[in-house]
Amino acid sequence: MNTNKYTKLTQWVLRIAIAGEFIGHGVFGLLGKPEWLGWIQQFGFSSAAAAQILPLVGLLDITVGVLVLIRPFKIVLLWAAIWGFWTALLRPIVGLPIWDFVERWTNWGAPLALLLIPGLPKNIKDAKEWFKTS
């Protein structure tokens, strides 16, 4: 197998892994995972607001997962890396052990890796570059 085939295979492995993570988390969001509702409330939202926000976040996660699987736009991968980092970091912020953050490094590392394989846009400010696929 040549390097190009390994690169394509690696990209597909990452795409499937990211899709699984985001779709899985999205379903938990749609189901209103009680622990996550509590985390949203720790940021000053009422329980009613948290119950409205979490399914929307779930839908966004599912959308990200499907997009990465079907067509991994660079802007979506950037969002996935940022969101994955934030949601991993959120664990110790809400009182869980730091290891809950460490355990989730893949949540942001996999989208970042998929974004970096072909390289970041040459001009970061060029919006159309971010809407190209990785």
For residues 14 and 110, is the Cβ–Cβ distance under 8 A? yes
Q: What is d(CA 132, CA 121) in angstroms, rounded to the nearest whole number? A: 9
- Reported pTM: 0.90
Q: Which two tokens stand for residue 27?
A: 């379903």
pLDDT at 2: 65
Which residues fall within 8 angstroms of residue 71, CB to CB, at 6 or more apart?
133
Range of the domain at 71: 3-130
Q: Which two tokens stand for residue 8?
A: 């394509």
Give the pLDDT confidence of 73-119 residue by residue, as tens digits. 999 999 999 999 999 999 999 999 999 999 999 999 999 999 999 88
Using the predicted structure, report yes or no on whether residue 127 has a pLDDT greater than 80: no
Residue 55 CA: distances (Å) to CA of 28, 29, 32, 107, 114:
9, 5, 7, 19, 27
Q: What is d(CA 115, CA 109) in angstroms, rounded to the nearest whole number? A: 10
Q: Which residue has the tokens 């052990």?
A: 97
Q: Count the domains in the chain.
A: 1
Using the predicted structure, report yes or no on whether residue 123 has a pLDDT greater than 70: yes
Give the pLDDT confidence of 18-50 residue by residue, as tens digits. 999 999 999 999 999 999 999 999 999 999 999
Using the predicted structure, report yes or no on whether residue 134 has a pLDDT greater than 80: no
